């Protein structure tokens, strides 16, 4: 693989690893936002009011500990492996258990993988060609997944889903190849890559997990309609094929009878 991509301008692993490892979101001043204004955020109830000694704060839902991105990544990687009959024994436990948002991520990532299988295969080949995966190499390979031409540090819902979906596929492939030690690295790198961009872009872009849930519901509904239309079309074609075969059989039978009658008359005339 030729590595010609420029270095990312987002937080580097060394600068965000410490923040990533902190399990209690409320302990960091950078994760608390003084939101004195009230009203609808546009994405549903994406903020939760918290009371602290210093006063009242509104916590964005992506700052809630139960919705830490590491939980989404770990849950989906383990879930995706199970779909292939594999188990990630070293998967971290979810401190708050499986959340509704995690279940939605499972569904929407499955849809994303099905629709982007060809592209995922290409990215997978690149990663598997790297003997020792590092965060910088991982970032180079996945930089284009779900990217729509916006700033490199943005994290759209589509990009978020694409990265977790692809990571889950890679985790399953690694487990199948007995590279379980690489799965933890893949999980860590995926969470680091996403988390730094959520932190730098979601507030300004007015994104939230509530917004993700709303969009995902719409995507699932559209996918259900699309799959049903495809199924109906396949059934219609199958019925047409059956009727065509019946029609051909009827014609063949009629031709057989006609040939027999004509043949019989010919024989009688010769007599």
Contacts of 214 (CB under 8 A, 6+ apart): 43, 44
Number of domains in the chain: 1
- Which residues sit opposite 56 in a β-bridge? 51
Q: Is a pLDDT exceeding 50 seen at residue 40?
A: no
Question: Within a domain: residue 57?
Answer: yes
Predicted TM-score (pTM) above 0.75: no
Segments forming the whole domain that contains residue 173: 13-223
**Within a domain: residue 6?**
no
Quick check: 12 pLDDT over 80?
no
In a domain, 26, yes or no: yes
In a domain, 147, yes or no: yes
Asked if the structure places residue 228 within a domain, the reply is no
Q: What is the CATH number of the domain that holds 155?
A: 1.10.437.10
In a domain, 84, yes or no: yes
pLDDT in tens, 232-242: 787 777 777 77
220 is written with which tokens?
Answer: 């699932």
In a domain, 136, yes or no: yes
79 to each of 4, 109, 167, 241, 250, how far by Cα in Å? 34, 11, 12, 39, 52
Q: Higher pLDDT residue, 105 or 122?
A: 105
- Whether residue 156 lies inside any domain: the answer is yes
pLDDT digits (tens, 9 = 90+) for 151-182: 556 899 999 999 999 999 999 999 999 999 89
């Amino acid at each position: 693989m030729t590595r010609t991509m420029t270095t990312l301008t987002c937080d580097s692993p060394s600068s965000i690893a410490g923040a990533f490892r902190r399990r209690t979101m409320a302990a960091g001043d950078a994760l608390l936002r003084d939101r004195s204004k009230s009203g609808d955020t546009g994405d549903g109830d994406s903020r939760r009011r918290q009371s602290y000694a210093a006063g009242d704060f509104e916590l964005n839902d992506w700052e809630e500990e139960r919705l830490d991105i590491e939980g989404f990544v770990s849950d989906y990687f383990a879930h995706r492996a199970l779909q292939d009959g594999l188990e990630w024994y070293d998967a971290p436990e979810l401190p708050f258990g499986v959340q509704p948002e995690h279940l939605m991520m499972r569904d929407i990532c499955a849809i994303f993988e099905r629709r982007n299988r060809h592209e995922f295969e290409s990215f997978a080949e690149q990663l598997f060609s790297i003997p020792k995966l590092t965060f910088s190499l991982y970032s180079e390979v996945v930089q284009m997944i779900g990217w729509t031409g916006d700033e490199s540090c943005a994290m759209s819902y589509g990009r978020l889903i694409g990265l977790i979906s692809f990571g889950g596929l890679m985790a399953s492939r690694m487990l199948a190849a007995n590279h379980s030690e690489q799965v933890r690295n893949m999980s860590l790198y995926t969470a680091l890559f996403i988390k730094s961009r959520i932190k730098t872009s979601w507030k300004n872009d007015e994104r939230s997990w509530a917004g993700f849930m709303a969009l995902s519901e719409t995507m699932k509904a559209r996918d259900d309609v699309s799959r049903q239309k495809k199924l109906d079309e396949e059934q219609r074609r199958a019925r047409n094929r059956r009727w065509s075969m019946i029609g051909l059989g009827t014609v063949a039978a009629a031709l057989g009878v006609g040939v027999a009658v004509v043949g019989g008359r010919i024989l009688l005339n010769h007599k």
